[in-house]
Amino acid sequence: MLKAEPNGAHLGLAQLENDFDVTIITQNIDDLHERAGSTKIVHLHGEIFKMRSERSYAPVYEIKGDIQLGDKAPDGGQLRPHIVWFGEAVPMIELAADIASAADFFAVIGTSLVVYPAAGLLHYTKRDIPKFIVDKVIPSAATVNGITSIQKPASEGVPILSEMLRSLLLG
């Protein structure tokens, strides 16, 4: 992951901050949104370049190498990646739901809308705001409720989304 580079979608979303107050809610555990220049990111499933004690969610420490069995946090707990494993609670979902419910527009990018609880965030948005989905395959869940579909890979669809938002919201 250290060698991965932000793609056009990451860069395009970061550029939206020039005109809009943007908060990225991501299921990805990498830091590509940060490296692209986005400044407000909620990592629903945690961050791979951070670690914490197995006993608590905080404090969180930066990491770029491996965690070894026996590496302990100050509270004595084994250090572990600061990510959500399958079956664990998603501690950032309440913050994400609050952000979705306050949004003036909402875009879902590069997802099948089948991984919950993240897929449910769309249901927290206000009914009358513009909603968009950008994906190579538009999920059937996105064909209702006035969602504008952009059937493209994220790196191609985000520039289209950007133009639509600028036209719709900036006039």
Residues 6+ apart with CB under 8 A from 29: 43, 45, 46, 47, 48, 83
Whether residue 43 lies in the annotated active site = no
* Residue whose C-alpha is closest to residue 135's, from 105, 158, 116: 158
Which residue of the set 33, 45, 82, 123 is catalytic?
45
105: which 2 tokens? 């527009």
Point out the residues that are catalytic. Answer: 45
